[in-house]
């Protein structure tokens, strides 16, 4: 009986050869160099932001288990990636490889300039289009914490399928000779097979799936070079049961190429700066005009003005409002919720100015076992520059070395008004507008 994967591989090989000139390594290298200043998806891939400073954790990609080495039934043939004109190319200096995805796929996990990386590691989830039954593909890279490590998953009956062209690598710090990097598969039950990149061992079997790539072995000195790239059906669901699903996943994996501009952001003082620094905004640099809209939050006894180009949305369940800038940066207006604790914290921000026309009060306890007199007075506009978190400006009150962002205007419910960036800093113009939005606060009722 013909193995359907063998037939698929033959079909892929037949159709791919014609596209060989379109994926010339020199062209790809030039593309990477032209785009090396762009962190994240280029050529039109938009960053689907997740929670600020969050990194997806996929259990199947973090536990330690050896890959079972089984010989391939036939030697793998060289494989040429069929790029297709409408595929998008992912390039980021934070990852050792570049790769392509179909135009209707998206990437989740892109945060700030580090493209999803934190001290504990990097992870991108390649998501098929909405409504698709296909499984996602995950790229996970080591971080800088010694306790964190990507590792081989336990693969059932793994088998080498095809070698990735122009890509060699390493699976052990002691390896002296680079080995071919292959697309491999393993059994994953009724929902199909898992597909992943792995070192092809000298005997043709599947070697480690936690790998580094490049002409020299970096693993003894640069643990952050270690990564995995593949599917995890048992953890992420979806399927690879039909030819089109398997073909797409194989093509994504086979599109992997060495990133010549790989230069991951390194931590300073134990902190990975995920967002760039910005110039300090000036209170009063921008003033609302007649085109600005008004948000009134009666429960909090306040109203704000915001530019016409910013979009307002309301979440009734969380009792919050979001004023979203064209870049996606937001001003969050959130009412105090019963059961939540809103403690003050040690001041780590810079005062931009005080709004003498509006006063508020705020609790200043740092925890449950403390009694501290509340602060009251003119509302402050404070800001924190980009670094571990996105640059932010917000309303607050301070007292001594502590500050509080949950403010009470009169006898109304407490409210927080602050700038939030999940995927990136605001633009400089948006930062000035953010400060103007905060400065526009007035009391009502």
Q: Is the pTM of this model over 0.85?
A: no
C-alpha span between 71 and 23 (Å, rounded) = 30
Same domain, 46 and 159: yes
Same domain, 92 and 188: yes
Whether the CB-CB separation of 247 and 128 falls below 8 Å is answered with: no
Same domain, 100 and 143: yes
The CB density around residue 341, as the number of other CB atoms within 10 Å, is: 9
Could you tell me the two tokens for 424? Answer: 């990136």
| Short-list 212, 120, 222, CA closest to 168 | 212
| 273 occurs within a structural domain | no
Per the structure, the count of domains in the chain is: 2
Name the pairing type of β-strands 345-346 and 402-404.
antiparallel
| 232 occurs within a structural domain | yes
| Residue at a domain's end among 237, 258, 279 | 258
Torsion on CA atoms 6, 167, 199, 226, rounded to nearest 10? -140
| Confidence (pLDDT) at 81 | 46
Same domain, 303 and 178: no
Provide DSSP, 126-146.
EEPPTT--BPPEEEEE--S-T
Q: For 59, list phi and psi in degrees, rounded to 5.
A: -50, -40
Question: How distant, in Å, are the alpha carbons of 213, 232, 271, 335 from that of 146?
Answer: 20, 24, 14, 40
Same domain, 311 and 222: no
C-alpha span between 357 and 415 (Å, rounded) = 18
Same domain, 138 and 218: yes
Q: Which residues contact 426 (CB under 8 A, 6 or more apart)?
A: 325, 327, 329, 390, 391, 419, 434
| 267 occurs within a structural domain | no
- Block residue for tokens 């939540």: 340
Whether the CB-CB separation of 151 and 62 falls below 8 Å is answered with: yes
Full residue range of the structural domain in which residue 433 is found:
293-443
Task: Spell out the per-residue pLDDT of the chain, length 445, in tens.
Answer: 444 444 444 544 443 333 333 333 333 333 333 333 333 333 333 333 332 333 322 222 222 222 323 333 444 444 444 556 689 999 999 999 999 999 999 998 788 889 989 888 999 999 999 989 899 999 999 999 877 678 776 788 899 999 998 999 999 999 999 999 999 999 988 888 999 999 999 999 999 999 999 999 999 999 899 999 999 888 888 888 888 888 999 999 999 999 999 999 999 888 899 899 999 999 999 999 999 999 999 999 999 999 999 999 999 999 999 999 999 999 999 999 876 668 888 999 999 999 999 999 999 988 887 777 889 999 999 999 999 899 999 999 999 999 999 999 999 999 999 999 978 899 999 999 999 999 999 999 8
Torsion on CA atoms 343, 344, 345, 350, rounded to nearest 10? 140
Does an H or E element contain 125, and which? strand 121-127
| 286 occurs within a structural domain | no
C-alpha span between 15 and 255 (Å, rounded) = 15
| 285 occurs within a structural domain | no
Same domain, 237 and 317: no
Helix (H, G, I), strand (E, B) or coil at 199: strand
In angstroms, how far is the first alpha carbon of the chain from the final one?
A: 79
Same domain, 58 and 203: yes
Could you tell me the two tokens for 190? Answer: 């009724």
C-alpha span between 194 and 236 (Å, rounded) = 11
C-alpha span between 73 and 381 (Å, rounded) = 68
| 287 occurs within a structural domain | no
| Confidence (pLDDT) at 379 | 98
C-alpha span between 169 and 215 (Å, rounded) = 7
Same domain, 34 and 156: yes
| 380 occurs within a structural domain | yes
| 112 occurs within a structural domain | yes
Mutual orientation of helices 243-254 and 4-16 as an angle, nearest 10°?
50
C-alpha span between 184 and 262 (Å, rounded) = 24
Name the pairing type of β-strands 106-108 and 47-48.
parallel
Same domain, 132 and 198: yes
Whether the CB-CB separation of 139 and 92 falls below 8 Å is answered with: no
Whether the CB-CB separation of 299 and 335 falls below 8 Å is answered with: yes
Same domain, 182 and 303: no
| Residue at a domain's end among 238, 258, 278 | 258
Same domain, 416 and 325: yes
Domain at 421, CATH number: 3.40.1000
| Residue at a domain's end among 258, 280, 308 | 258
């Amino acid at each position: 009986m013909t193995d359907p994967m063998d037939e698929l591989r033959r079909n892929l090989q037949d159709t791919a050869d014609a596209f060989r000139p379109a994926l010339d390594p020199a062209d790809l290298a030039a593309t990477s160099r032209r785009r090396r200043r762009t962190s994240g998806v280029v050529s039109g891939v938009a960053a689907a932001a997740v929670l600020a400073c969050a990194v997806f954790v996929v259990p199947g990609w973090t536990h330690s288990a050896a890959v079972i080495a089984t010989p391939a039934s036939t030697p793998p043939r060289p494989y040429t990636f069929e790029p297709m004109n409408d595929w998008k190319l992912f390039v980021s200096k934070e990852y050792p490889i570049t790769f392509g995805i179909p135009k209707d796929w998206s990437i989740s996990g892109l945060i700030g300039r580090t493209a999803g990386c934190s001290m504990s590691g990097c992870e991108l989830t390649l998501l098929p289009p909405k409504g698709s039954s296909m499984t996602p593909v995950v790229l996970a890279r080591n971080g800088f914490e010694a306790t964190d490590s990507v590792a081989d998953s336990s693969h059932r009956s793994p088998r080498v399928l095809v070698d990735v062209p122009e890509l060699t690598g390493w699976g052990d710090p002691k390896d002296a000779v680079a080995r071919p990097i292959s697309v491999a598969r393993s059994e994953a039950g009724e929902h199909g097979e898992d597909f992943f990149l792995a070192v092809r061992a000298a005997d043709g079997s599947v070697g480690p799936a936690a790998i580094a790539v490049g002409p020299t072995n970096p693993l003894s000195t640069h643990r952050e070079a270690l990564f995995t790239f593949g599917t995890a059906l048992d953890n992420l669901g979806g399927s690879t049961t039909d030819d089109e699903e398997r073909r797409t996943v194989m093509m994504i994996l086979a599109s992997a190429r060495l990133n010549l501009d790989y230069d991951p952001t390194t931590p300073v003082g134990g902190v990975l700066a995920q967002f760039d620094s910005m110039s300090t905004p000036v209170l009063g640099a921008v003033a609302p005009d007649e085109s600005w809209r008004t948000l009134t939050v009666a429960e909090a006894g306040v109203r704000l003005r915001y530019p016409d180009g910013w979009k307002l949305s309301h979440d009734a369940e969380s009792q919050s409002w979001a004023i979203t800038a064209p870049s996606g940066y937001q001003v969050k207006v959130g009412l105090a919720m019963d059961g939540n604790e809103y403690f003050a914290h040690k001041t780590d921000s810079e005062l931009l100015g005080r709004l003498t026309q509006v006063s508020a009060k705020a609790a200043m306890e740092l925890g449950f076992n403390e009694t501290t007199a509340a602060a009251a007075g003119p509302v402050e506009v404070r800001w924190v520059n980009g670094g571990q978190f996105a640059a932010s400006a917000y309303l607050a009150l301070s007292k001594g070395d502590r500050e509080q962002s949950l403010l009470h205007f009169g006898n109304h419910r407490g409210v927080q008004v602050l700038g939030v960036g999940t995927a990136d800093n605001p633009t400089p113009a948006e930062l000035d507008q953010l400060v103007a939005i905060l400065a526009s606060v007035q009391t009502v009722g």
